[in-house]
Amino acid sequence: MELSDREKRLLDEMEAALLTEDPRLVSALSANPAVPSRNRIMLGAGLVLLGLVTLFGGLVSQITPIGILGFLIALTGVISAISSFTPGVGAKAAKKPRSRSSLSDRMEKRWDNRGQED
């Protein structure tokens, strides 16, 4: 059953009101659930293993830059694997700027509403 034009308009108005009242709720409800990427986890695990091998290779050969490089490779692997579990790490979340009223605007509103508080 299709919605009538009036119902569609009311639904759009309710969505707009919800967006202005609570943008956090809207973004939480519209966000896709985080599904870890299997390829990214495997890439991260591979980088960790490669980094550890390189790190120990640098320790055994007593060449400090190779050990540092191995540590950085392993760290990159850990970050890659962890970022597959958290949504929005690699992508920027679109945020709507809040409309902030200045102090003078708020004081003026309070002044205008001073007689209505009784």
| 76, 54 contact by CB (below 8 A) | no
CA angle (6 as vertex; 5, 8 as ends), nearest 5: 65
Tens-digit pLDDT profile for residues 46-84: 999 999 999 999 999 999 999 999 999 999 999 988 887
Distance of alpha carbon 98 from alpha carbon 95, whole angstroms: 9
Q: What is the pLDDT of residue 89?
A: 47
CA-based max dimension of the chain: 82
- Residue that wins the pLDDT comparison between 96 and 22: 22
Q: Which tokens hold the place of 37?
A: 């990427």
Distance of alpha carbon 14 from alpha carbon 86, whole angstroms: 30
Phi, psi of 71 (to 5 degrees): -65, -45
Domain boundaries, the chain: 7-86
> E strands, 3-83, where?
none
CA angle (40 as vertex; 36, 45 as ends), nearest 5: 110
